[in-house]
Chain A
Amino acid sequence: MALDRWIALVILAVSLSYGYTAFFLMDAGLPPFMRFNPIWPSTFPKVIAVLAAITSLAILLGFEKKPADSDADEIDFSRLWDYNIGQAVFLLVLMAGYALLLRPAGFLLSTLLFLVISAALLGERRFVILVPVAAIAAGGVWYLVQQTLGIYLSPLPTFFN
């Protein structure tokens, strides 16, 4: 089965559980006075759930003819392992790590680490340039966002505060 049909299957499952929530679970919590409304919080979701289930089923069963020419510019999923998949996954992990580290380690340190590690991962070896650039970027963005714009970004690790 091609990837687009697998995805249609997943979306079908999601819309079924979404529809189940809308049809059977949501109205239970509705206060009595709201039952007189012509529209309930679940009305719109019900419509979407039905439409989404039908559309995803249509794709899953392949009712629609495939376009003859696929975009040459896009990446061929069947040859995914020929690409730098490892780098991409590692970068995603790094982003998740950044999300988790941002609060405890502070903005400056986690940004510096993120920029240096991800650039190094992509093959940058001139650390003499890389580290100062990353430091200036982290410091500059922090200065702009916090000092100039007044949006708080905790700069230092929590144990310094």
Chain B
Amino acid sequence: MLDGIWVGLSTAFSFSNLLMVIGGCLIGTFIGMLPGLGPMSIIAIMIPVAISIGDPSAALILLAGVYYGAIFGGSTSSILINAPGVASTVATSFDGYPLARQGKAGKALTVAAIASFAGGSIGAILLMIFAPALASVALLFHSAEYFALMVVGLSAIAAFAGSGQVGKALLMTLVGLMMATVGEGALFNQPRFTMGILDLQSGFGFITLAMAMFALPEALFLVLDPSRSNSGGSSGDIKDLRITKAEAKKIAPVIGRQSIQGFLIGVLPGAGATIASFLGYAVERNIAPKEEQAEFGKGSVKGLAAPESANNAACTGSFVPLLTLGIPGSGTTAILLGALIALNVSPGPRLMIDQPEIFWSVIISMYVGNVILLILNLPLIPYIAKVLAVPRNYLIPFILFFTLMGAYIGQNNATELLMLVGFGVCATLLRFANYPLAPLLIGFILGSMLEDNFSRSMQLYDGISFIMERPMTMGLLALAAILVVLPTIRARRVRKQELEAAESD
């Protein structure tokens, strides 16, 4: 193993490869900021460039830089303008955007950068040590377990169900699940609920919905209430860039836990960064002390650090099945697999034996990509945060324009834009009535995966018996129930205590 690491290090630290990493990180960060262009599309776009380099290690190093850059860039748009362009950064906006609104955009970006860095690095170390062993564990997960895992992911909605909000959060999740069933599912080859509209055949677009639920209502609120733009001090303020010692102490255990948890979830093919980030958020909220729990969703550093480290660690984790089994667990790794094959490298069990230098240079380059990203981005953060200091008359048209572009680039379909506006109006009304919008998006993202895995296990077991027959499924479902019920019980106990205190006065 040490030989391998040495080979990897010497490859990664050559001058030209360092340039590759720096270039990749910069390209990834800047393009990733455009909502609508996630890591997957950016890597796909960069593949021709990477292949033309010829040397597989250099090409992979470039792609790793682009990958990490794109993930960080995506978090930037969720934090600054509440426009998550990728499913895995939706959870980032829950607490990242409130922080930015409080004038702590610089701090939020720093926390995100550090959490991503730690998640990615810890993930890379775990990958190095456990990759072969974990590959076999990943295969133990069947569709029944995936179904249960999605249910656990859905329990993240409990985080939005404050007092008097349980029903609303639940209803929004159900609406999200309903919207996920529109279109042609993978399993049935039958259009459902399309109402004969051809544009609905492929279902609602994720980006359209994400923009309509988060970015558009926020922009409309900024229009409706001009005082909102400059509330929370001068926006884009950079004096709060540094993290205080107390905050560092607060987020360190969160980052540690979520890096490991995220990595383990990322190892499972198909679960990936999105579930990891939602679960990370839900778990951290549930185990946080009472007074910190109230902060979640209103700008908690913990709530920002958890999904950020989890999703980066999961991205690293998704390399385990790719490199050891040749199974791409996510869209991004599928594209990377294509790139590897085009470079005459075939991932699989033989990779570590036949071409150890490739295996190790991938891992080392991931690590180097992370470090370079941190070094490049920390000094850039004040300038990125300045986006919010753009005058309102310019900021709002540009936010609207970017939401439109995000929905348009992916689909190249102008009807998508009309849907965006329609959903945006609905979402704004829902916000007026205090309905939480995040559960809707969580339901929508997890809905199709949930249904597919549920159907598959129903078909395999010819009925619902798989829940009883597979202990792991049962255990995960029980965990989901605990995650949902726990906050409610806690809240009830607190209310009871308050009542008793009031009575004894």
Q: Which residues of A contact B (CB under 8 A)?
A: 2-4, 6-8, 11, 14-15, 18, 21, 26, 29-30, 34, 37-39, 41, 43-45, 48-49, 51-52, 55-56, 58-59, 63-68, 70-71, 73-75, 77, 80, 83-85, 87-88, 91-92, 95-96, 98-100, 102-103, 111, 114-115, 118-119, 122-124, 130, 133, 137, 141, 144-145, 149-152
Contact in complex: B458, A39 (CB < 8 Å): yes
Whole-angstrom distance between the Cβ of B289 and the nearest chain A Cβ? 21
Contact in complex: A98, B417 (CB < 8 Å): yes
> Taking the complex as formed, is B379 at the interface, i.e. its CB lies under 8 A from any CB of chain A?
no
Contact in complex: A122, B398 (CB < 8 Å): no
Whole-angstrom distance between the Cβ of A120 and the nearest chain B Cβ? 8
Chain B residues, Cβ within 8 Å of A80: 224, 432
Contact in complex: B181, A45 (CB < 8 Å): yes
Contact in complex: B188, A95 (CB < 8 Å): no
Contact in complex: B170, A44 (CB < 8 Å): no
Contact in complex: B412, A96 (CB < 8 Å): no
Chain B residues, Cβ within 8 Å of A122: 223, 392-393, 396-397
**Which residues of B123-177 have CB atoms within 8 Å of chain A's CB atoms?**
162-168, 170-171, 174-175, 177
Chain A residues, Cβ within 8 Å of B163: 65, 67-68
Q: How many angstroms between the C-alpha atoms of A151 and B391 in the bound complex? A: 30
Q: Which residues of B contact A (CB under 8 A)?
A: 31, 34, 37, 45, 162-168, 170-171, 174-175, 177-178, 181, 185, 188, 190, 192-193, 220-221, 223-226, 231, 391-394, 396-398, 400-401, 404-405, 408-409, 412, 414-415, 417-418, 420-421, 424-425, 429-435, 451, 454-455, 458-459, 462-463
Scoring B37, B168, B459, B463 by chain A CB atoms within 10 A of each residue's CB, the highest score goes to B168
Chain A residues, Cβ within 8 Å of B391: 124
Closest to A152 in B: B412
**Residue among A71, A95, A137 making CB contact with B421, cutoff 8 Å:** A95
Contact in complex: B171, A55 (CB < 8 Å): yes
Contact in complex: A55, B167 (CB < 8 Å): yes
Chain A residues, Cβ within 8 Å of B429: 3, 7
Scoring A15, A48, A118 by chain B CB atoms within 10 A of each residue's CB, the highest score goes to A48
Closest to A99 in B: B417
Contact in complex: B435, A7 (CB < 8 Å): yes
Chain A residues, Cβ within 8 Å of B177: 48
Chain B residues, Cβ within 8 Å of A88: 220, 223-224
Contact in complex: B164, A38 (CB < 8 Å): no
Contact in complex: B459, A39 (CB < 8 Å): yes
Contact in complex: A59, B171 (CB < 8 Å): yes
Chain A residues, Cβ within 8 Å of B171: 8, 11, 52, 55-56, 59
Chain A residues, Cβ within 8 Å of B396: 91, 118, 122
Contact in complex: B192, A85 (CB < 8 Å): no
Whole-angstrom distance between the Cβ of A80 and the nearest chain B Cβ? 8
Scoring A26, A29, A84 by chain B CB atoms within 10 A of each residue's CB, the highest score goes to A84
Contact in complex: A75, B225 (CB < 8 Å): yes
Closest to A151 in B: B409
Contact A99 B421, CB 8 Å, known A18-B178, A21-B193, A83-B224: yes
Contact A29 B224, CB 8 Å, known A98-B417, A133-B394: no
Q: How many angstroms between the C-alpha atoms of A64 and B170 in the bound complex? A: 12
Contact in complex: A103, B433 (CB < 8 Å): no
Contact in complex: A85, B170 (CB < 8 Å): no
Contact A48 B221, CB 8 Å, known A65-B164, A77-B432, A122-B392: no
Contact in complex: A124, B462 (CB < 8 Å): no
Chain B residues, Cβ within 8 Å of A66: 164
Contact A95 B178, CB 8 Å, known A67-B164, A75-B225, A75-B432: no
Contact in complex: A124, B394 (CB < 8 Å): yes
Ranked 8 nearest A-B pairs via Cβ: A99-B417, A4-B433, A67-B164, A124-B393, A83-B224, A77-B432, A118-B397, A52-B174
Contact in complex: B167, A75 (CB < 8 Å): no
Chain A residues, Cβ within 8 Å of B231: 73
Contact A75 B221, CB 8 Å, known A29-B190, A96-B421, A151-B409: yes
Scoring A66, A88, A137, A152 by chain B CB atoms within 10 A of each residue's CB, the highest score goes to A88
Chain A residues, Cβ within 8 Å of B167: 55, 58-59, 63-64
Q: How many angstroms between the C-alpha atoms of A49 and B463 in the bound complex? A: 21
Contact in complex: A18, B193 (CB < 8 Å): yes
Q: How many angstroms between the C-alpha atoms of A150 and B190 in the bound complex? A: 33
Whole-angstrom distance between the Cβ of B127 and the nearest chain A Cβ? 30
Contact A99 B414, CB 8 Å, known A18-B178, A122-B223: yes
**Residue among B174, B220, B433 making CB contact with A3, cutoff 8 Å:** B433
Closest to B393 in A: A124
Q: How many angstroms between the C-alpha atoms of A111 and B398 in the bound complex? A: 10
Closest to B464 in A: A38
